[in-house]
Amino acid sequence: MSAEQEDRRERAFQFDLFVSTDWAERFDAIVAEHVDLPEEGRLLEINCGTGDHVVALASSLKAGEVVGTDVDPERLKLARAKALVAKSEKCSFVEADPRRLVFNDDAFDCVVLDASLESPDSLAAMASEALRVAATTASVAVKLPTRGSFDEFFSVLWEALHDVGIADEVWARLEPIVTSRPGVQEAVGVLRSAGLRNARSHTTKEEWRFESARALLDSPLANFLFIESTLDMVPESRRASVVGALERIIDREVDGQYFTVSAKALVVAGRKS
């Protein structure tokens, strides 16, 4: 196995341990509470990760099947292993780009699109594909974070960049990423334009507490969600200085309590028009 393959495999395991549990399951709980999923038929979960939700849906399905797709073959290996352990014969997994699915039109009785880890500018394309493969009147649900997510971290990051003297240089590249997530009504509008009718939105505020800056910076979940991608934009020669400034600012704010990072989770559910 090459070093690159080993790295992809390790990231898949990290995804399974931290993202599938402490991120995806929070969105899945909103779906379970608010979305009326069919008990029979052919269901699709787009961006299924390591397959926990697909296997769970299959276990409660009276008749039919649940198909999960993901772009990462290493995640799908873990998903297939979970299905095998669960002895689930009602689920399968397909490697597929969420913007170019490999299924025919009108192929599924229900579609769940997990857009929570995708770039916001791809929402319209993914939603169009999700609606294309959904049968007429099929239930469709979309999961994503909205504007304001992780703002606590971005606020201290801006302060750290300012303290190090590179705020103008770096923030110009970071700001579009920070502000690109849609608001609730904007997201609903995108999905309606893609063909979703009777759209209903369900939101929660999800929080994570960290006892120190080092606990945050060492968190696999926080790194996967927002730390790695933002620090990658800091010149390598200044990265250690920025991290040091982050630690000073966050630990000052913690002051014996917690540093809280939050995400605004949204699930939009409706039917194909």
**Which of 127, 123, 174, 124 has its CA nearest to residue 153?**
174
Helix (H) or strand (E) holding 254: helix 236-254
Q: What percent of the chain has pLDDT over 90?
A: 92
Band (pLDDT 50/70/90 cuts) for residue 5 is confident
Q: Which residues contact 102 (CB under 8 A, 6 or more apart)?
A: 94, 96
Instruction: Write the pLDDT tens digit of every residue in 101-118.
Output: 999 999 999 999 999 999
Instruction: Write the pLDDT tens digit of every residue in 194-205.
Output: 999 999 999 999
**Which of 177, 158, 168 has its CA nearest to residue 118?**
177
Residue 229 CA to residue 63 CA, distance in Å, equals: 42
CA 63 to each of CA 104, 179, 213, 221, 268: distance values in angstroms, whole numbers, following the listed order: 21, 43, 49, 35, 25
Residue 183 CA to residue 168 CA, distance in Å, equals: 26
Beta strand pairing call for 91-95 and 63-70: parallel
Handedness of CA 37, 190, 136, 72 (dihedral sign): negative
**Left, alpha or beta for 12 (phi > 0: left; psi -120 to 50: alpha)?**
alpha
Band (pLDDT 50/70/90 cuts) for residue 39 is very high
Query: Is residue 58 a contact partner of residue 90, using CB atoms and an 8 Å limit?
Result: yes
Note the pLDDT of residue 184: 98
Residue 84 CA to residue 51 CA, distance in Å, equals: 11
Note the pLDDT of residue 42: 98
Helix (H) or strand (E) holding 179: helix 167-179
Average pLDDT over residues 241-267: 95
Residue 44 confidence (pLDDT) above 90: yes
Instruction: Write the pLDDT tens digit of every residue in 52-104.
Output: 999 999 999 999 999 999 999 999 999 999 999 999 999 999 999 999 999 99
Note the pLDDT of residue 159: 96
Average pLDDT over residues 199-226: 97
Q: Which amino acid is at 56?
A: A
Note the pLDDT of residue 3: 83
Residue 35 confidence (pLDDT) above 90: yes
Residue 179 CA to residue 150 CA, distance in Å, equals: 11
Average pLDDT over residues 131-150: 97
Query: Is residue 66 a contact partner of residue 45, using CB atoms and an 8 Å limit?
Result: yes
Note the pLDDT of residue 178: 87
Band (pLDDT 50/70/90 cuts) for residue 273 is confident
Q: Is 268 helix (H, G, I), strand (E, B) or coil?
A: strand
Residue 63 β-bridge partners: 40
**Left, alpha or beta for 147 (phi > 0: left; psi -120 to 50: alpha)?**
beta
Band (pLDDT 50/70/90 cuts) for residue 262 is very high
Note the pLDDT of residue 160: 97
Greatest Cα pair distance, the chain, in angstroms, is: 61
Average pLDDT over residues 199-217: 97
Note the pLDDT of residue 1: 67
Quickly count: other Cβ atoms within 10 Å of residue 203's Cβ: 12
Kindly report the average pLDDT of the chain as a whole number: 96
